[in-house]
């Protein structure tokens, strides 16, 4: 069939208009045909490895739809007998190399491999099964990595590198030995992973999953001596319903409360309550810094993945981070302080469970800064997905549960606390409170406008005698851009809010995995609706927050408030091992280290290392040197970095390093001759 229309292609005999689609896959899916893929993700670069999206283009033969741009006049067939057979063979080969423990796999319900096998009608595997027994990586407090379930789609690799700019995992080896793993075969806990979990969100199988804490929670719920209380994050209320065939963004706070009581929780509270507390502490911290003109701009500290990212890559900016704990940890500290008296129980019998949209919150709760006298402020953290599984395990019909109110006093929150669940919410909440304090007016529904067209938004707010300028960032690659601008003195923002996940907490890796491309936007609308219908809009209006200051904290930023609600941060190395030896001369006395951490890697340190190895081979003093790859010199702003004995070389080049080596060799030889 020929097509002479300049703006269309023919897909299975039907014309489809070209309307800016980047590739045939997007265009064909627009026509209502869901071509299968493993390695394609619209937010990532094209990889083209799985070969499932093949189509037959007249005059060109079989092409990968993901990497073929549409061209007017194309005539395309999507499911010829040949293509169907190729797809079946591709999936069978994957299955032959896959750990087939499907019934016990944590991702069984959402496994793309399982659904594709059913979609393609695969009822047997015609290839020899490859038995593997690679140990699972359980080192991370947030994630579990199971190499035997990896299908090498590369989605996790590209998301970690392209969206988060970390590169904690990548492809290693070749051919049949090819695998996805952290650098140098280390465990996730030993490299620069920040636990954001977005690799889990894009993984189509059970190769990367959330590290579950439901067993610990069930055990606590089953102990009659333990009082188990829950805090539920704002973003959970607009997503949990998706696990029970409800629409994304539908607010189900009352159903969550009722369901958790039926699971055995003694009290159910709102993390938005402690978000109100965070607003007041952070706003007052900002106003003091603004008055003194020090440690500005202030970076928010609610997102633990961002905090660890800053500790790893931007230690020079740590004084700029707010010292406020996140709402999760503020709740834990406040509850451990007050609930034993309120509930008339012994403090050691109180068990606090946080229900979060985020996997990094698991690591945050385990940080030593949040452990007092051997007891964690938050005893367990479960994701939205984990809570959904607990509800399903009991057989509760979530959609039919009658809504119930949360418990007091920590169940009442304002709209300011609720909007913490979306990107920009923390900034707006702080701004509402700050403008009310500064000039007696409260701002709502602030419109942030694009700063760079690529992930950073900003707003300017005119006050009586000054102007406040705020920036909002989500995604760690964009966080890196913002931090670089601040370090270079090219940013004049007062407050910078950073969230690691797309859209903020509503897009956290602990949320339901959705095929609905508008799910995050719908959740955002749900958060905004909850804010708009709240009778209280500013954190300072919460009467129970006012009572806490009256009875315990006195005033925002007091010594009591700092002791309970604030913490500092420290620089963290990104790998456990100090260095990896790559070249060791017989008589080495000059030690060269090249940083290959992400900051330096992105500035070419790996190529620098390769060139140095090659250059040294031709030098008469090659036996005098030892070359190592190391992982952080805490000088990311001068990347790439090298060290020759005690001399650190920023913005290192081959010529700089060689000159420094020759000086060291010459000095040593002179000392020996003397």
Q: Among all residues, which ones are annotated catalytic?
A: 282, 285, 302, 322, 361, 364, 369, 505
* CA–CA dist 564, 369 (Å, integer): 11
Helix or strand or coil: residue 584?
A: strand
Single out the residue of 527, 487, 497, 494 nearest to residue 637, CA to CA: 487
Ordered DSSP codes for 65-90 = GGG----TT-EEES--HHHHHHHHHH
* CA–CA dist 660, 125 (Å, integer): 60
How many beta carbons lie within 10 A of that of residue 475, not counting itself? 26
Give, rounded to a whole angstrom, the gap between the first and last alpha carbons of the chain. Answer: 89
Helix or strand or coil: residue 9?
A: strand
- Contacts with 14 (C-beta within 8 Å, 6 or more apart), sequence order: 31
Single out the residue of 330, 426, 395, 312 nearest to residue 369, CA to CA: 330
Task: Tell me the two tokens of residue 181.
Answer: 């793993």
Does residue 376 contact residue 348 with C-beta atoms inside 8 Å? Answer: no
* CA–CA dist 310, 325 (Å, integer): 15
Single out the residue of 408, 390, 348 nearest to residue 372, CA to CA: 348
For tokens 């923002």, name the residue. Answer: 493
Q: β-strands 61-64, 75-77: how paired?
A: unpaired
Cα–Cα–Cα angle for 182, 186, 187, nearest 5°?
85
Single out the residue of 233, 198, 231, 235 nearest to residue 524, CA to CA: 235
* CA–CA dist 91, 86 (Å, integer): 9
Does residue 244 contact residue 252 with C-beta atoms inside 8 Å? Answer: no
What single-letter DSSP state applies at residue 24? H
Does residue 256 contact residue 237 with C-beta atoms inside 8 Å? Answer: yes
Q: Is the dihedral of CA 58, 61, 66, 69 positive or negative?
A: negative
Single out the residue of 273, 238, 357 nearest to residue 541, CA to CA: 273
Q: β-strands 380-383, 350-356: how paired?
A: parallel
* Strand-by-strand arrangement of the 456-462 sheet: 298-299, 495-499, 467-474, 456-462, 449-450
Single out the residue of 173, 452, 472, 438 nearest to residue 286, CA to CA: 438
b/e 215-227 (16+ beta carbons within 10 angstroms → b): eebeebbeeeebb
Question: In sequence order, which ranges of 440-505 are alpha helices (DSSP H)?
Answer: 476-487
């Amino acid at each position: 069939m020929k097509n002479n229309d300049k703006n269309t292609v023919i897909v299975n005999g039907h014309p489809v208009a070209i309307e800016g689609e980047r590739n045939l896959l997007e265009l064909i899916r627009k026509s209502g045909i869901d071509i299968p893929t493993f390695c394609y993700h619209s937010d990532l670069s094209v990889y083209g490895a799985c070969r499932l999206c093949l189509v037959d283009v007249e005059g060109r033969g079989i092409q990968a739809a993901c990497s073929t741009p549409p061209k007017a006049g194309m005539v395309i067939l999507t499911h010829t007998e040949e293509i169907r057979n190729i797809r079946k063979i591709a999936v069978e080969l994957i299955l032959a190399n896959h750990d087939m423990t499907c019934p016990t796999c944590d991702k069984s319900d959402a496994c793309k491999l399982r659904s594709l096998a059913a979609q393609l009608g695969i009822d047997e595997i015609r290839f020899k099964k490859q038995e593997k027994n690679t140990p699972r990586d359980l080192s991370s407090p947030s994630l579990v990595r199971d190499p035997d379930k990896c299908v090498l789609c590369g989605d996790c690799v590209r998301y970690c590198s392209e969206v988060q700019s970390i590169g904690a995992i990548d492809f290693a080896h070749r051919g049949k030995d090819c695998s996805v793993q952290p650098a140098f075969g280390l465990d996730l806990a030993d490299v620069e992973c920040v636990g954001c979990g977005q690799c889990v969100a894009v993984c189509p199988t059970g190769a990367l999953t959330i590290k579950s804490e439901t067993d610990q929670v069930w055990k606590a719920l089953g102990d009659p001596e333990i009082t188990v209380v829950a805090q539920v994050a704002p973003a959970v209320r607009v997503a949990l319903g998706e696990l029970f065939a409800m629409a994304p963004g539908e607010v189900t706070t009352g159903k969550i409360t009722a369901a958790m009581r039926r699971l055995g929780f003694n009290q159910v509270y709102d993390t938005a309550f402690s978000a109100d507390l965070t607003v007041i502490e952070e706003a007052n911290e900002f106003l003091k810094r603004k008055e003194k003109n020090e440690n500005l701009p202030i970076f928010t500290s609610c997102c633990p993945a961002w905090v660890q990212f800053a500790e790893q890559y931007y230690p020079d900016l740590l004084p700029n981070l707010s010292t406020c704990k996140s709402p999760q940890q503020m709740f834990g500290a406040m509850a451990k302080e007050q609930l034993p008296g309120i509930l008339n129980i012994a403090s050691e019998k109180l068990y606090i469970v946080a229900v979060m949209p985020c996997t990094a919150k698991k690591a945050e709760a385990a940080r030593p800064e949040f452990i007092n006298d051997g007891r964690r402020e938050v005893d367990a953290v479960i994701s939205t997905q984990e809570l959904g599984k607990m509800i399903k395990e009991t057989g509760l019909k979530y959609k039919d549960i009658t809504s119930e109110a949360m418990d007091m006093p920590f169940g009442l929150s304002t709209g300011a606390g609720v909007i913490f669940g979306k990107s920009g919410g923390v900034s707006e909440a702080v701004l509402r409170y700050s403008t009310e304090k500064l000039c007696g007016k409260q701002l709502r529904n602030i419109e942030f406008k694009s700063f760079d067209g690529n992930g950073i938004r900003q707003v300017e707010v005119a006050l009586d005698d000054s102007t406040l300028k705020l920036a909002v960032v989500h995604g760690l690659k964009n966080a890196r851009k913002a931090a670089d601008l601040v370090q270079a003195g090219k940013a004049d923002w007062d407050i910078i809010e950073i969230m690691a996940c797309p859209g903020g907490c509503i897009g956290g890796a602990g949320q339901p995995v959705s095929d609905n491309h508008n799910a995050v936007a719908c959740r955002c609308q749900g958060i905004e609706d909850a804010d708009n219908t709240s009778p209280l809009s500013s954190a300072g209006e919460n009467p129970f927050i006012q009572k806490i200051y009256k009875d315990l904290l006195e005033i925002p930023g007091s010594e009591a408030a700092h002791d309970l609600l604030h913490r500092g941060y420290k620089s963290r190395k990104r790998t456990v091992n100090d260095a990896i030896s790559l070249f060791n001369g017989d008589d080495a006395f000059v030690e060269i280290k090249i940083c290959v951490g992400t900051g330096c890697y992105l500035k070419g340190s790996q190529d620098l290392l390769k060139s140095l190895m090659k250059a040294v081979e031709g030098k008469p003093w090659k036996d005098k040197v030892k070359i190592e790859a190391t992982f952080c010199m805490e000088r990311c702003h001068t990347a790439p970095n090298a060290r020759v004995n005690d001399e650190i070389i920023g913005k290192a080049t081959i010529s700089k390093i060689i000159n420094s080596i020759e000086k060291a060799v010459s000095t040593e030889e002179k000392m020996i001759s003397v």
